[in-house]
Amino acid sequence: MRIRTLFLCLAFVAVGLSSCERPDDGPRFLTPEEIERYKHQHTIKIEKYVEYRQGDCPVILTVPHGGTVVESFLTLRNTSNCPDPDFATDLDYNTRELVDEIDKAFFARTGHHPYMVISLIKRNHVDFNRQKSYAVPAGDTNIVIIYDAYHAYIAKAREEVSQTYGHGLLLDIHGQSHSEQIDLGYLLPVSRLNLSDETLDGGTYAASSSIAHLTRTNKEGLSFSKMLRGEKSFGAFLYRNGLECVPRPGNLSPGSTPYFYGGYTTRQYGSYGGGVVDAIQCEFRYSYRDTQSERLRCAAAVAKSIDEFTQVVW
C-alpha cells in the first residue's frame, strides 16, 4: 500500500502552524490538553482536517464535502456567520471512500497515482467549495487556517502538474441524490446545455467553461461541443464504461432535472480564466457510493474513463 504523506509544512499557508513535524500516516485525534492549547494559541494540526496525497501524473482529485470530524472548540456554520445564498451542510456520503477506490483502480490500471486533496472535517465547520466569506464562520481564525491549507494543497498540486506536464485534469468529487446519474459540471448552467452544438461552438461558451484550455489544445482538434458531450467526451467514456451521466451523447442536457454545473473549485482551478489544468465537477448519484461492491464497480469505471479520455485529448 502506498504511504500517504500528509504535509504540514506549507510555507504559503500559514500563520499559526506551530511545527514542521512529519505526521503519522492517518489523522491523529487531539488530546483534550492539545485542544485547549491549540485553542488558546490559535494553531491547528492540519493533518487532522485535510489530507494531501502526492501524485505522479497530471490528474488531481479533490473531495470537499466528505469529512466527518467535528470539534467542540470550532465554530459551527450558520446562515448568520456564513451568509451564503446557497448555504448547505450536507455530507457527501462515502465520497472519501469512493475516491480511495478510484485511486487504487487508477494505480492498478496505469501504475500512477493522482494528486488528492481530501476534506476530513465536517461541512458544518467549513465548506471548501465556497469562497472564504461563505465557507468559514466569521471570526474563527482556526477554521481560516484549515480552509487556507485545503486550497493551498490544491494550488500546490495544480502548479506542480502545470510545470511538470503542461496540462492536467482536476475532478472535484461530490455526491447528489436528486437523480440517477452523475452530473458533470463544466460551469455551464442548463440554459447553455440546452443550446445546440452549433450555437455552443459559435459563441464564447468554451472560454467561460472549466475546460477552455482542453478545447483549444486537445490533440484531435475536437470542438467545444464534442469535448463537452461528443463521442470522445469524458461523459461518453463514463457511459460506455457503465455509468449513467449528463452531459454525454444521447443525454445532452438534464432538461428540467435538477443539476449541479460546477462550483468554486471548478471555477478557481479549472482553465476558466487561464491556465493549463481543466476541471470537471463530478456529482455521483447515491447508489454509486452506497455499497462497497458498487463503489468498486464505479471506481473501476471512473479510473478506466480517466485513462481513456486523457489518452484521446493529451
Residues of the chain above pLDDT 90, percent:
84
| 211 located within any domain | yes
User: pTM, whole model, 2 decimals?
Assistant: 0.87
How many other C-beta atoms can be found within 10 angstroms of the C-beta atom of residue 10? Answer: 19
| 12 located within any domain | no
Of the listed ranges 32-46, 75-89, 225-239, 278-292, the one predicted with least confidence? 32-46
Residue 45: the pLDDT is 80
Q: Are 227 and 169 in contact (CB under 8 A)?
A: no
3-state DSSP assignment of residue 53: strand
CA dihedral 236, 170, 278, 225 (to 10 degrees): 20
| 158 located within any domain | yes
Residue 22: the pLDDT is 27
Picking from 255, 307, 260, the residue whose alpha carbon sits closest to that of residue 282 is 260
Q: Are 277 and 164 in contact (CB under 8 A)?
A: no
> How many angstroms separate the Cα of 8 from the Cα of each of 23, 40, 50?
7, 20, 10
- Averaged pLDDT, 57-66: 98
Picking from 183, 44, 10, 55, the residue whose alpha carbon sits closest to that of residue 121 is 44
Residue 4: the pLDDT is 39
Give the integer Cα–Cα distance in Å for 295 and 50.
22
pLDDT tens-digit series, residues 98-132: 999 999 999 999 999 999 999 999 999 999 999 99
Using the structure block, give the residue that is written with the C-alpha cell 456554520.
77
| 110 located within any domain | yes
Per the structure, the count of domains in the chain is 1
Q: Where are the beta strands (DSSP E) in 240-292?
A: 245-246, 277-285
| 130 located within any domain | no
Residue 66: the pLDDT is 97
Half-sphere exposure of residue 72, counting CA atoms within 13 Å on the CB side? 6
Is pLDDT above 80 for 19? no
CA dihedral 213, 217, 218, 222 (to 10 degrees): 90
Is pLDDT above 80 for 248? yes
Confidence tier at 32 by pLDDT (50, 70, 90) = low
The domain in which residue 62 lies consists of 47-67+81-121+153-313
Tell me the average pLDDT of the chain.
89
| 164 located within any domain | yes
Of the listed ranges 15-19, 182-186, 214-218, 226-230, the one predicted with least confidence? 15-19
Is pLDDT above 90 for 25? no
Residue 100: the pLDDT is 97
Give the integer Cα–Cα distance in Å for 222 and 200.
13
Helix residue ranges per DSSP H, 195-260: 197-202, 212-217, 224-229, 234-240
| 5 located within any domain | no
**Encoded amino acid at 144, one letter:** V
How many other C-beta atoms can be found within 10 angstroms of the C-beta atom of residue 20? Answer: 10
Of the listed ranges 23-27, 38-42, 191-195, the one predicted with least confidence? 23-27
How many other C-beta atoms can be found within 10 angstroms of the C-beta atom of residue 261? Answer: 22
CA geometry: angle 280, 312, 179, nearest 5 deg: 35
Can you read off the three cell numbers belonging to residue 103?
485511486
Give the integer Cα–Cα distance in Å for 36 and 32.
6
Read off the CATH number of the domain in which 54 is found.
3.40.630
| 139 located within any domain | no
CA dihedral 197, 201, 207, 213 (to 10 degrees): 90
